[in-house]
Amino acid sequence: MRDWKTLLTNMTLRTRLMVGYAAVLLVALAIAGYTAIGSFDSALTEQANRAIEANDSVANSLLDGMVVDVEAVVADAGKDPGLRVAAGKVGFDSELRARTQLDGLTYLIAVDGNGRVQASSTRSQPYDVRWTRLLDSIAGQKAASFIDVVPESELLALGLADELAIETIGTDGGAAVEGEESGALAIVAVTPLKTEQFTGMLVAVSSFKLNHALVDAIVSQVGGTSTVFQGGIRVSTTVTNAVGERAIGTVVSDPVRKATLVEGRPFRGQAFVVNQESLTAYDPIKNPDGDVVGMLFVGLPLQEYDAATSQFTRFYTLVIIGALVMGLVGAYYLARGVSRPIAELEAVALRVAGGDLTVRADASGFKESRALADSFNFMIEGLGGIIGTVDDASASLGSVSTQISAASRNSAEQASRQASSVAETTATVEELSRTFNAVAEGASRVLEIAEDSLEAAQEGQATVESGAHTMEDLTDGAREVQEAAAAMTGVAADITEMTIIIGGIAEQTKILAMNAAIEAARAGDAGKGFGVVATEIRTLADSVARSASHISQLVVGIQAASKALATTAEHQAELTAVGARQAGESNQTFGSLVGQMSSTAAAAREIAAAATQQKVAADQIVSAMQQVSNSSNESASAARQLADAATEVESEADRLKRGLGGFRIR
């Protein structure tokens, strides 16, 4: 099955159309041939049946005519003057014999009223008739005719037994019945014969046994074959055996015997006759009692009809072959007409598959092929338009992807530079935060020193107020004041240096904030948060600068106070000698010093608070800068990914363009 499927799959359309058309045509012709041959055979069979019925009718008419003829012959013989004169006299036998030969009878006998044969055409000795049917007819003393089997005893008495003896021959499908060959089936006619010398009946017998006049007459009129059966044995026939002789003695087939001889009904149909099949008609031959004593057969050998059927079959086969050849020729041209446009479409499709979209199919041939070619051309035009559009789109996509890639790379570079700037700013802010921590610690120490100086000044004032009782105490106090003034001068110098550093840091912070604001503006939406942080940093730097300026002013005051305190301390020893006046002046000076120290302590507190705020702000700036740094790194990474994606899109667009380059649409 798979081989057949493979074979059908590998067939071209032309071959498949031819094979399919030939198969359909062959099946149609075969069906038509089968139907025609069957119809012809049925017509022949019907004709044969009509012929056999006609032949049977003719045969029965001839048989009836033969009976009438025998009856007329015996009637004429009874009226023959010569025979009447010779009746009962010497020479009667000779007259009977002459009449028998003249009329073609088997024999003539003269039977008296007692049933004794007085004379016969066979010149037999007188004998008593034992044939019941004949005795009944003689007893009636009336003319009559019938068909019956002459008993064997009658034939023996007349000396005809050997002459009419036949040998029974069995046939295929037919078995002989013992005793059927005895006697002779014959037509018997009786007529009264009454003269001066004889009173009785004249009996004429025409035997069918070995007498072929009837069957020959039948065949001469209707053709075919004919047979008279005595029982089931052929005693007169035109049927011949294998050597061409009349098939006398052969027996009928068993089905016919059963239907006709046993059941007493006619038989019609096909039957085996001696050595051939024939279409047959068997009619029973009955005696006056209604018993079947023989059969009349007419037949038509089937070989004649078979020959006619064979001749018709051969003729129709030639017609089928001719029609098939013509059909194949027509199928060839039809298949070529159908397959040629498809083959042309196949060639065009191969060129289209090779990338040539300028080719067009030839819209010719039958309607469907033209429609298919038009559709194919429309498809090619549509495909060319699609490929052209895709080609243009791929070119635009390549250009756009190039621009995106360049912009992404530029954005990645800017994001990288921004990340670097943010990292530098973060490092600077972290350094500033550490400086703010140092400033806060220095401010704390200044505050402690200022508070200690304030406390010492207050104690000195108390000491001056309580009196300069003891110069040593005053000298010690002056020494302590001198030392405190020296320490305050050092602290003021330290504060001045830190203030300068803070001012420089503030200026750098403002510059960094300005740069950060510029970078944030360049970064667009991604740098908005960073811009806000840069603004806050710049504001904080301005605040730090103002606080540093204020601290510088305070430090100038402290330095002046420290110098004055130092001068006072230096001259304290001299003032001690002055006494009360100088003590009063010292009291005033200490009053001023206490006020200045109070101001210094307040300024130190403000410096410490500002330093603490700057430290908190610096920590916030560091955290914000770290977030900005992370955002910048993420932006740079996203920009690089976008650049990589744009590069990949550009590569795919180039690849698509190269793939579309295999199609030629112009």
Q: Using an 8 Å Cβ cutoff, are 148 and 135 in contact?
A: no
Angle at 177 between CA 175 and CA 182, to 5 degrees: 135
CA atoms lying within 13 Å on the CB side of residue 609: 8
Phi, psi dihedrals of residue 420, rounded to the nearest 5°:
-65, -45
Q: Using an 8 Å Cβ cutoff, are 616 and 532 in contact?
A: no
Q: What is the pLDDT of residues 573-592, one digit of tens each?
A: 576 566 657 667 766 766 77
What is the percent of the chain with per-residue pLDDT over 70, rounded to a whole number? Answer: 75
Q: What is the pLDDT of residues 186-203, one digit of tens each?
A: 999 999 999 888 899 999
Mean pLDDT across 307-326: 76
Domain-located, residue 468: yes
Specify the DSSP element, H or E, that contains 31.
Answer: helix 13-79
Q: Is the per-residue pLDDT at 304 higher than 90?
A: no
Angstrom CA distances, 426 to 15, 235, 517, 629, stand at 87, 148, 14, 8
CA atoms lying within 13 Å on the CB side of residue 535: 8
Domain boundary among 253, 283, 309: 309
Angle at 505 between CA 501 and CA 510, to 5 degrees: 150
Tokens linked to 92: 């009667």
* pLDDT of res. 573: 57
Same-domain status, 303 and 431: no
CATH number for 544: 1.10.287
- Which positions ≥6 away from 193 have C-beta within 8 Å? 78, 84, 87, 110, 199, 200, 201, 202
* pLDDT of res. 595: 76
Angstrom CA distances, 585 to 213, 227, 571, 572, 576, stand at 205, 196, 12, 11, 11
- Sign of the alpha-carbon torsion through 344, 348, 354, 358: positive
Domain boundary among 309, 340, 358: 309
Domain-located, residue 188: yes
Tell me the β-bridge partners of 112: 200
* pLDDT of res. 202: 94
Q: Is the per-residue pLDDT at 1 higher than 60?
A: no
Q: Categorize the per-residue pLDDT at 73 as very low, low, confident or very high, splitting at 50, 70 and 90.
A: very high
* pLDDT of res. 55: 92
3-state helix/strand/coil string of 188-248: EEEEEEECCCCEEEEEEEEECCCCCHHHHHHHHHHCCEEEEEECCEEEEECCECCCCCECC
Q: Is 460 helix (H, G, I), strand (E, B) or coil?
A: helix
Q: What is the pLDDT of residues 265-277, one digit of tens each?
A: 999 988 878 777 8
* pLDDT of res. 555: 65
Specify the DSSP element, H or E, that contains 8.
Answer: helix 2-10
Q: Categorize the per-residue pLDDT at 334 as very low, low, confident or very high, splitting at 50, 70 and 90.
A: confident
Q: Categorize the per-residue pLDDT at 50 as very low, low, confident or very high, splitting at 50, 70 and 90.
A: confident
Domain boundary among 293, 309, 325: 309
Q: For the whole model, what pTM was predicted? A: 0.48
Q: What is the pLDDT of residues 530-578, one digit of tens each?
A: 677 778 777 877 876 787 788 678 767 767 766 776 787 677 657 656 6
Q: How many domains does the chain have?
A: 2
Q: What is the pLDDT of residues 199-236, one digit of tens each?
A: 999 999 999 999 999 999 999 999 899 999 999 999 99
* pLDDT of res. 127: 93
Q: Using an 8 Å Cβ cutoff, are 304 and 48 in contact?
A: no
Domain-located, residue 322: no
Same-domain status, 442 and 300: no
Tokens linked to 444: 């704390």
Tokens linked to 638: 């996203």
Q: Could you tell me the residue range of the domain that residue 94 belongs to?
A: 14-309
* pLDDT of res. 293: 95
Tell me the β-bridge partners of 50: none
* pLDDT of res. 569: 62
Instruction: Name the residue among 170, 167, 165 with its Cα closest to residue 152.
Output: 165
Mean pLDDT across 5-25: 73
* pLDDT of res. 617: 66
Same-domain status, 441 and 294: no
| 517-539 residues labelled b (16+ CB within 10 A) or e (exposed) | bebbeebeebbeebbebbeebbe
Per the prediction, the chain carries an average pLDDT of 79
Domain-located, residue 219: yes
Q: Using an 8 Å Cβ cutoff, are 264 and 289 in contact?
A: no
Same-domain status, 25 and 154: yes
Among 92-106, 254-268, 300-314, 532-546, the least confident range: 300-314
Q: Categorize the per-residue pLDDT at 164 as very low, low, confident or very high, splitting at 50, 70 and 90.
A: very high
Same-domain status, 52 and 177: yes
Rg (CA), the chain: 79
* pLDDT of res. 665: 65
Domain-located, residue 538: yes
Q: What is the pLDDT of residues 608-619, one digit of tens each?
A: 676 677 677 667
Strand 199-207 with 107-112, pairing: antiparallel
Tokens linked to 333: 């041209």
Q: What is the pLDDT of residues 347-403, one digit of tens each?
A: 878 877 777 778 787 777 667 777 877 887 888 777 777 777 766 766 776 676 677
* pLDDT of res. 258: 92
Domain-located, residue 76: yes
Between residues 327 and 51, the one the model is more confident about: 51
* pLDDT of res. 65: 94
Domain-located, residue 8: no
Q: Is 664 helix (H, G, I), strand (E, B) or coil?
A: strand
Q: What is the pLDDT of residues 411-457, one digit of tens each?
A: 667 767 766 765 776 676 677 667 667 766 766 775 676 677 667 66
Q: Is the per-residue pLDDT at 86 higher than 90?
A: no
Between residues 495 and 353, the one the model is more confident about: 353
Mean pLDDT across 17-25: 77
CATH number for 275: 3.30.450.20
Hey, what's the torsion of the CAs at 67, 69, 70, 72, to 10 degrees?
Answer: 120
Q: What is the pLDDT of residues 509-523, one digit of tens each?
A: 788 778 878 877 888
- Which positions ≥6 away from 410 have C-beta within 8 Å? none
Domain-located, residue 351: no
- Which positions ≥6 away from 499 have C-beta within 8 Å? 548, 551, 552, 555
Q: Categorize the per-residue pLDDT at 120 as very low, low, confident or very high, splitting at 50, 70 and 90.
A: very high
Same-domain status, 469 and 605: yes
Q: Using an 8 Å Cβ cutoff, are 439 and 498 in contact?
A: yes
* pLDDT of res. 221: 94
Q: Categorize the per-residue pLDDT at 260 as very low, low, confident or very high, splitting at 50, 70 and 90.
A: very high
Q: Using an 8 Å Cβ cutoff, are 521 and 531 in contact?
A: yes
